Structure 1
Amino acid sequence: MTDLLYTDVEESLRSSVRATLQRSLDDGLVARLFDEPQTDVSGIWQALAGQLGLAGLLVPESLGGLGAGPREAAVVLEELGRTVAPTPFLTSAVIATTALVTAGDEQDLPRLATGEVTAALVLPWTARSGAWAPASGTVEPVAGALGADLLLVPTAGEGGRVSLRVHGRDEVQTEAITSLDMSRPLARVTPLGGGREIASGDRAEQAVDAALGAGQALLASEQLGLAQWCLETTVEYAKTRVQFARPIGSFQAIKHRLADLYLLLVNAQATARHAAGTLAEGDPDRHIAQAVAQAFCSDAAVRAAEEALQLHGGIGMTWEHPVHTRLKRAKSDQLALGTPERHRADLARLVDLPAH
């Protein structure tokens, strides 16, 4: 059975990530991105990659990385989800890195490990493991492409054989498109030809499937961290907001809603940890765990953000309060790497149940 508990190493990593984010990020910066999308946020990634080495967390030690695994990456994403940090960790250090590791690349991974460059997988952000098509012409929406130095493009060659190619920034055309969540902007990407092939055929398909599968499993941890922030922030607000001469947290209706949300997040935590654990162990049931995690945690994060918004009352509706940044990230994540409905259909197929 997969161990769902956090190890001492994972808790130590969490403390380091949280402390670094507290020094380099504030909610005001995230909110400003919606009005000023050109705001420079590179310092956050430089702190995480340079001070903690998170860019190379999943890169083998032989290639200059830390050689850690999905469980450690899940803890990082919980903390990034709490702050909706505008970093390329999920798109570059998890998804693109997993594709390169699976493809057997040894040229680009050492540069990714140092944080010198970032990478992105050029597929629609709604694609999911086992349900994607090679790029043909312009691809949108692509997450992590804006500012990425390396673009991994799966294309179809002769006879439909898939080729996974690495393009430099000057070998693609990227154009920003309107994004609900400006802390993870989306882009329209058009490959201009060229590129270097790093895998083809079955190996290329396996690399893309592994990358999307890792993204699905670990996105659940980001959603978990976001939801936990929503619950904790709302509980603290309910203790101090006074209405009718009493803290609103003393009213039974508020207590029930917060208790229900707590129980939802306990289940979300178990689901996210199981997905990360089975991925780390290479468990045959990891695809089931990934589908369950995305079907459950996507909706749980949106529910937590909606409850936080409503229970904060009028102040929750203001631009100045950070709860709107969590709701936007939660809703965007709900659509990323496959919707909950798609994952429920995948789950039905995986466990031999009829899909409706």
Structure 2
Amino acid sequence: MHFALTEDQRAIRDAAQDFLSGATGAEARTAALESAAGWDSSLWRALGAELGFAGLMTPEAYGGSGLGAVEMSLVLEEVGKALPVVPLFESAVVSVTTILAAGDEDQKAALLPGLASGETIATPVWAREGETAPVLTLTPAPTLSGLVRYAPFAQAADLLLVACEGAEGVSLIALPADAPGVRVERHASLDPTRPLATVHLETVAIRPEWILGVPGGAAAALQKSWTVAAGLLAAELTGVAAHSLASTVEYVQQRVQFGRPIGSFQAVKHTLADMMVQVEAARSASLYAAAALDLGGDEAVEAASVAKAWCGDAANHCAGEAIQLHGGIGFTWEHPAHLYFKRARSSSAWLGNAALHRELVAVRMGLDATTPDPA
């Protein structure tokens, strides 16, 4: 595949970079994390309404920009560099993709314009164990009872996309967060910039119009949404790796030891060179995955898994090396290095870790455990 960004795509990337680099400094991020809401609602309004990133992947017929995964991947890489405390990935990527894949025409027309404008925030409420395997059971009534842990930005959401198992199969419910019987409980999490919550459902009566598409017919839509989300989360992880490299290069040029900058030492140069290789390869993998997702087909599934595995490893490697090369300051709570390390750890595990995605690629290549050893 010969790939080069168009002028419009470069403009989107530059707009995201300029805005996020100026609006998400350490003080603003700390203020958002320490606020009662636990996220930055004013920054979300700017991203969603002013820049239009909330509707980037929403078709124009539903009030969005009608762009694709490549454009969103460029924005998400900048998000990974800046770590704004906003639900862009959860609402504008996972939720939009899920509704497009599972909803009927009336449901798309009713739900997507609010998501595209940023006025409505949605988040996926899926099981973390296995990711696409629902832990909730839809009773014939129909009602939902139980809980799902680790729902990202659930405390900010107006709409919860709940996966559940019923007599007909897997269903997806577009559940209003203020529906009777719904309670969201915030809790501490590894990555404070992507806050998590537990969603409690106490005999929640489900209206027929809340069930996306045909009852029991959402398994394929859920898998498609999972694939797109995994492929685009790779772009965010690329941004984490890229920021870790850039901030470390800047630091080692300033930090003096034995009378000269530590960046002049051969061992430090080798480490930075390794980080750069990881970042460049991650960017290639994430952009290839995004382009493949826009084209569709079987290649997109494999490309998304390759990108998620590689970019997750790259982010973990670069964020860890950044802490090491920052020395003592890198271990302090006041320095942002720990936030990038935590984002790398949490996002590389979400939507399937590297081992899972490598296994998926191996199975698609016919190299699963049942394949005889050629030796």
TM-score by length of 2: 0.89
SS in 2 for 1:354: coil
User: Which AA in structure 2 matches 1:194?
Assistant: I
Whether the 8 Å CA contact 2:32–2:85 is kept in 1: the answer is no
Aligned to 1:15: 14
Deviation at 1:239, TM superposition (A): 1.1
Aligned to 2:57: 58
1:225-304 to structure 2, matched below 5 A, reads 225-304=239-318
In 2 relative to 1, CA 24–126 (structure 1 residues): closer, same or farther, beyond 3 Å? farther
Aligned to 2:83: 84
Whether the 8 Å CA contact 1:123–1:135 is kept in 2: the answer is no
Deviation at 1:340, TM superposition (A): 1.2
Aligned to 1:179: 189
Deviation at 1:243, TM superposition (A): 0.5
Cα distance in 1, alignment partners of residues 128 and 249 from structure 2: 33
1:1-356 to structure 2, matched below 5 A, reads 1=1, 3-31=2-30, 38-39=37-38, 41-103=40-102, 104=104, 105-125=108-128, 127-128=130-131, 131-133=132-134, 135-136=136-137, 137-158=146-167, 160-171=168-179, 172-191=182-201, 192-195=204-207, 196-200=210-214, 203-355=217-369
- Once structures 1 and 2 are overlaid, which stretch shifts more, 270-279 or 18-27? 18-27
Deviation at 1:134, TM superposition (A): 5.4
Deviation at 1:29, TM superposition (A): 3.2
In 2 relative to 1, CA 215–194 (structure 1 residues): closer, same or farther, beyond 3 Å? same
Question: What whole-Å deviation, never above 9, does each CA across 1:304-355 have from its counterpart, x for those lacking one?
Answer: 0000000011111112211111111111112111111111221211111024
Cα distance in 2, alignment partners of residues 183 and 37 from structure 1: 14
Percent of aligned pairs sharing the same letter: 38
In 2 relative to 1, CA 32–134 (structure 1 residues): closer, same or farther, beyond 3 Å? same
Whether the 8 Å CA contact 2:251–2:326 is kept in 1: the answer is yes
Cα distance in 1, alignment partners of residues 11 and 307 from structure 2: 25
Whether the 8 Å CA contact 2:32–2:39 is kept in 1: the answer is no
User: Which AA in structure 1 matches 2:81?
Assistant: R
In 2 relative to 1, CA 98–40 (structure 1 residues): closer, same or farther, beyond 3 Å? closer
Whether the 8 Å CA contact 2:237–2:344 is kept in 1: the answer is yes
Cα distance in 2, alignment partners of residues 123 and 39 from structure 1: 21
Cα distance in 2, alignment partners of residues 246 and 139 from structure 1: 53
SS in 1 for 2:178: helix
- Once structures 1 and 2 are overlaid, which stretch shifts more, 83-92 or 162-171? 162-171
Cα distance in 1, alignment partners of residues 292 and 129 from structure 2: 23
Cα distance in 2, alignment partners of residues 354 and 323 from structure 1: 38
**Gap regions ≥5 residues in structure 2:** 138-145, 371-375
CA RMSD of aligned residues (A): 1.8
Deviation at 1:211, TM superposition (A): 1.5
User: Which AA in structure 1 matches 2:205?
Assistant: G
**Gap regions ≥5 residues in structure 1:** none
Whether the 8 Å CA contact 1:120–1:144 is kept in 2: the answer is yes
In 2 relative to 1, CA 156–295 (structure 1 residues): closer, same or farther, beyond 3 Å? same
Deviation at 1:203, TM superposition (A): 4.4
TM-score by length of 1: 0.93
Following TM superposition, the consecutive aligned residue runs of length 4 or more in structure 1 with deviations greater than 6 angstroms are: none
- Once structures 1 and 2 are overlaid, which stretch shifts more, 102-111 or 198-207? 198-207
Question: What whole-Å deviation, never above 9, does each CA across 1:65-85 have from its counterpart, x for those lacking one?
Answer: 110000001001000000111
Deviation at 1:57, TM superposition (A): 0.8
Deviation at 1:274, TM superposition (A): 1.2
SS in 1 for 2:161: strand
Question: What whole-Å deviation, never above 9, does each CA across 1:23-62 have from its counterpart, x for those lacking one?
Answer: 4221233345565564551011111011111111111101
In 2 relative to 1, CA 222–56 (structure 1 residues): closer, same or farther, beyond 3 Å? same
SS in 2 for 1:120: strand
Question: What whole-Å deviation, never above 9, does each CA across 1:235-286 have from its counterpart, x for those lacking one?
Answer: 1111111110011011000001101111111111111111111101103211
Higher-Rg member (1/2): 2
- Once structures 1 and 2 are overlaid, which stretch shifts more, 266-275 or 88-97? 266-275
User: Which AA in structure 1 matches 2:66?
Assistant: G
User: Which AA in structure 2 matches 1:161?
Assistant: G
